[in-house]
Amino acid sequence: MDCFQESLVDVVICLSTTVRNDTLQDVKEQRVSIKCRKQLRVEEVEMSEDIRLEPELYDACKPDITRLCQNVAFGNAQVIECLKENKRQLTQRCHQKIFKLQEVEMVDPELDYQLMRVCKHMIRRFCTESEGKNTLQCLKQNKNNYRLNPVLRKACKADIPKFCQPILNQATPDSELEGQVIGCLKLKYADQRLSPDCEAQIQVILQESALDYRLDPQLQIHCTAEISRLCPEEAAAQEQTGQVEECLKVNLLKIKQDGCKKEVLNMLKESKADIFVDPVLHTACALDIKHQCAAIPPGRGRQMSCLMEALQDKRVRLQPECKKNSRNRIDMWSSAAKVAPAEGFSDLAMQVMTSPSKNYILLVISAGVALLFVMGLLCGRFTKRVTQELKDR
């Protein structure tokens, strides 16, 4: 390892690159000692606070700073954050340097000065026992506490008291609620009853938690035992691809705990409202959605309905994996209907509109209504005639 350069900055950059490469390659023994890595982190954090302390990065991005961030003050990593926000407009040389910086921050989030500064209180409270590389995961998990998510609280300030007041009434000022409020908002998202701003925030949370069950506090609380029993391999893999959630959906009828069963039923309901909340199906059908449903906006069950209609249309040839997963969803929804029948007209309407036989069901309902209307007319005429005959007598 040759890091003996002319300046301290060059030495820090050289050592940082070595540590990053060893981490990414998952080597058994790091080439940089623990003592050196601790001191290195101090130097890196100081450098990340002000871009001018990183001459190579500053030199590469100087024209971009003048063009895009001229009114941004140095210090507190504000200039670096400005460059990140305008990444698509950067010159190639600066873009490469910023990308390399973000790559380092992904390996060790503690080197993201802005993240650590803005989230320092939350990190101290909830993530003190997490290793540096796990800080980001810890922050994501705690984001599902609505009290720790100011953006969500602002977007849903009217929706939370409107739909989730009973949960708030039972809570103390210091209670964390463990995702109950967000769980409540998720259900209203599936029912398409949230305000646009709140719906957008809940959509992001749903899509993130659909990829990693550990980001859904209520699912973790109620389904930990069932996951260990039914999905041990998927949980052990710790892949953020939604495989644990998929396993729970497939094994719905085998779930013994009512709380877990309810959470999985909620997941199925949420996925009907937004196909992005069903990552396994969306991945399998991405190409078909692009071809068959390009004009259909996402959300509110529209793309899911479009996909199910394409599945029923004999003229449409879906990809084999998409067809297989779509049929699996129909079986899952059928199982869900047996476990928890539709409650009320809104749930029934949602089941009908997302059913693969939607057109047939609507045709039968329309025919039934028309028949009742005709019978009403005939009965009305008959009654009128009888009444007239009685009067004539």
Report pLDDT digits (tens) over 267-316. 888 888 888 888 899 999 999 998 888 888 877 888 898 999 999 888 88
pLDDT, greater one: 287 or 6:
287
1 confidence band (pLDDT: 50, 70, 90): very low
Encoded amino acid at 229, one letter: R
Alpha-carbon distance of 21 to 23, in angstroms, equals 5
Q: Is the pLDDT of residue 48 over 80?
A: no
This prediction's pTM: 0.53
Q: What is the mean pLDDT of the chain?
A: 76
Q: Which of the residue ranges 56-70, 114-128, 219-233, 302-316 would you say has the lowest mean pLDDT?
A: 114-128
Tokens representing 381 are: 């005429």
What is residue 377's predicted lDDT score, i.e. its pLDDT?
Answer: 65
What is residue 23's predicted lDDT score, i.e. its pLDDT?
Answer: 64
120 confidence band (pLDDT: 50, 70, 90): low
Mean pLDDT over residues 53-57, rounded? 80
356 confidence band (pLDDT: 50, 70, 90): very low
What is the radius of gyration, based on Cα positions, of the chain? Answer: 28
Mean pLDDT over residues 144-163, rounded? 80
Mean pLDDT over residues 120-146, rounded? 56
What is residue 14's predicted lDDT score, i.e. its pLDDT?
Answer: 74
What is the percentage of the chain residues whose pLDDT exceeds 90?
15
Tokens representing 233 are: 């391999």
- Burial classification of residue 92, based on how many CB atoms lie within 10 Å of its CB (0-12 exposed, 13-18 middle, 19 or more buried): exposed
Mean pLDDT: which of 13-22, 33-42, 92-101, 111-120 is highest?
Answer: 92-101
Alpha-carbon distance of 331 to 270, in angstroms, equals 16
Is residue 178 within 8 A of residue 218, CB to CB? The reply is yes
What is residue 383's predicted lDDT score, i.e. its pLDDT?
Answer: 56
Q: Which of the residue ranges 63-67, 85-89, 249-253 would you say has the lowest mean pLDDT?
A: 85-89
Torsion, Cα 255 260 262 267, to 10 degrees, reads: -100
Tokens representing 244 are: 């644990």
Is residue 140 within 8 A of residue 148, CB to CB? The reply is no
What is residue 206's predicted lDDT score, i.e. its pLDDT?
Answer: 85
What is residue 183's predicted lDDT score, i.e. its pLDDT?
Answer: 85
What is residue 172's predicted lDDT score, i.e. its pLDDT?
Answer: 67
What is the percentage of the chain residues whose pLDDT exceeds 70?
64
Encoded amino acid at 303, one letter: Q
What is residue 124's predicted lDDT score, i.e. its pLDDT?
Answer: 59
